[in-house]
Structures are given as structure tokens and as C-alpha cells.
Amino acid sequence: MFLTNLKRICKAGLTSFFRNSFISFATVLIMTVTLMIIGSVMFMSATLTNVLDQVRDKVDVNVYFVVDAPEIEILEFKDQVEDLPEVSYVTYTTREDALAQFRERHKDDQLTLQALDELGENPLGASLAIKAVEPSQYESIAAFLDTDPVLGAGGVSIIDDVNYFQNKIVIERLNGITDAVERIGILLALVFIAASIIIAFNTIRLAIYSAREEIKVMRLVGASNMYVRGPFIIEGVLYGVAATIITIIFFYPVTFYFAEYTQEWLGGVNLFEYYTSNFGFIFIMLLAAGVVLGVISSFLAVQKYLKS
């Protein structure tokens, strides 16, 4: 009996979906716009996250050692720093690497290179570039460097300089920008999604309004509430599925068109690559959003006529 009723409900919902083609088209169109907004929020979030990650990756704390600092002591200190829970990774630059990088940066400045050659020795010390897990953790790393001096064999610190305080303003601003972008992103997403849901709900309610007489007849002949709701819920599912398919197809050429611009303007963020590599996740999220929106809207819209 249950399977028979389920079959009838599905058939009635499918029939109503195609019979009321104009209403179905209008509802699917509105839901497509809703899913496009949700999808756009997903792309914006991914893009902003990528841009912020790139900015974070360029911020670090550098520890510069005196020229005669023994390499073994530097490496021991490097191991200590890497053990800190706030540290993501540490990059060691030897004196020779520092000199090679300096020459590369000033390859067009012959006067500087000539002065360097006249010294007859490498004037640069080794260094460590310390990357924190989160930008907010650089202060605690700097505190560790300040309170735990690295002493050489003669009891003198082998650290020449730590550039945290020079970068402190940049780090603090990055923390503020990151927090602000995350809050604004969540707020905009909620506003757009809420507005879209309201519009889609009202559209589905209008579609069900045209079937109010049919609902009254079904109630008069003793149909259960679930049997009355069933076809409209199936319609809601079909609205969501159709809108998802249209949205997915729409995003393919759009992301392909904007891929070159986003890659050029946003530091290598390729929207089309993100879309294709995360296609399954995007499709499932949009399908879930569309189906849930259609089902809930249909359920609530029919509820009004079941109470009357």
C-alpha cells in the first residue's frame, strides 16, 4: 500500500510539473537565480580565501644571525623553533645562499657588485624565515625569540636582528583585513541567501496557490495530509533538480570566460580550474540547496491550505 501511494504521489507530482509548464518554468527560473547567487557566494569565498592565503604566505618573521655564527648552533636553534606549535615551517638560508640572492637582486647595479667584490669576503650572515600557522601567532613567536636568546660559545648572542617589529604593523593589518573579510563574507552570504530563499518560497507558494481548489477536493475525499503534500513536495524536488542542472551549465562558460581575468587580477586564481576540479562538490552543494529549498518551500506553502 505504501509503495502504491508513493508511486501515485510521484506520478501526480511529475504530471503537475509538466502540466503547469508556465508556472514550473517561472519557479525553476527563480530557483535558478537563487542557486546562482549561492554558487557565486561559493566562488567569491574560494577566491577571497586564495587571495588571503597568498598574502599570508608573503608575511613571515626573519631571524638574521651574526656573520661568525656557527652553522651547527643555527641548525639547533632552527629545530627548537620548528618544535613550537605556532610555527608552520622554517626556511634556512645559508650565508652562501644569501650572497647569491643578493647578487641576483642587484645584478643590474654594477657599483654595488663592484663594492661587494672589493670586500673580498661574504659580509652576509645566515637567516631563518619563520612562517606561523596563523598571522595572529607571530607575536608569540617573537616573544619566544626575545625571551630565549641564542648564545654562542663565548656567551654572546648569535642573533643579529629579528624583523618582527618592522613587520608588526603589516601583520596586524593583515589580521584585521582577514577578520573583516571573513565577517563581511559571511554576512553578505547570509543576506543574499536569505533574500533568495524568500523569493523562491513566495514563487513556489504562488504555484501552489493555483492548485488550492485541487487541495480542497483531495481533503474532502479524505486524503491524508501527507498524500496532499506529496505531489507538491515532488514538484519542489523537480524544481530544485532542474534549477541545479541549469545553474551548473550556466557556470561552465561563465567561469571559463572570467578565468583569464581572475588569474591576472587576483594573483593566479583561475575560476574555471576551481570549477572543474571541484565540480562534484559544487554540484552536490547546489543540488542539496535546490532540493532542500524546494521541499521546505512546498511543505510550508501547502501547510496553509491544510489548516484552512
Same-domain pairing of 26 and 106: no
DSSP state letters, 159-213:
EEEETHHHHHHHHHHHHHHHHHHHHHHHHHHHHHHHHHHHHHHHHHHHHHHTTHH
Which tens digit of pLDDT belongs to each residue from 149-172?
655 555 567 787 877 766 667 666
Contacts of 102 (CB under 8 A, 6+ apart): 116, 124
Closest CA to 130 of 64, 62, 72: 62
pLDDT of residue 100: 85
Q: How confident is the model at residue 84 (pLDDT cuts 50, 70, 90)?
A: confident
Same-domain pairing of 14 and 95: no
Q: What is the chain's mean pLDDT, rounded?
A: 79
Q: What domain range is 18 assigned to?
A: 2-55+174-307
Same-domain pairing of 50 and 73: no
* The last residue of a domain, from among 125, 157, 189: 157
Same-domain pairing of 50 and 178: yes
Residue 305 has pLDDT above 70, yes or no: no
Same-domain pairing of 84 and 39: no
pLDDT of residue 267: 62
Which tens digit of pLDDT belongs to each residue from 249-303?
999 999 888 887 777 776 667 888 889 999 999 999 999 988 888 888 777 777 7
Same-domain pairing of 85 and 220: no
Enter the C-alpha cell of residue 295: 521541499
Closest CA to 27 of 37, 17, 19: 17
Percent of the chain predicted with pLDDT > 70: 83
Which tens digit of pLDDT belongs to each residue from 204-229?
777 677 767 777 777 777 667 677 77
φ/ψ of residue 211, rounded to 5: -105, 20
Same-domain pairing of 247 and 272: yes
CA-to-CA distance for 229 and 219, rounded, in angstroms? 11
Same-domain pairing of 190 and 283: yes
Q: Tell me the pTM.
A: 0.66
Enter the C-alpha cell of residue 150: 641564542
Can you give the CATH number for the domain in which 133 is found?
Answer: 3.30.70.3040
Instruction: Count CB-CB contacts under 10 A for residue 151.
Output: 12
Amino acid identity, residue 160? D
Q: How many domains does the chain have?
A: 2
pLDDT of residue 28: 85
Mean pLDDT of 40-65: 78
Q: Are 91 and 133 in contact (CB under 8 A)?
A: no
Which is higher by pLDDT, 6 or 133?
133
Residue 166 placed within a domain: no
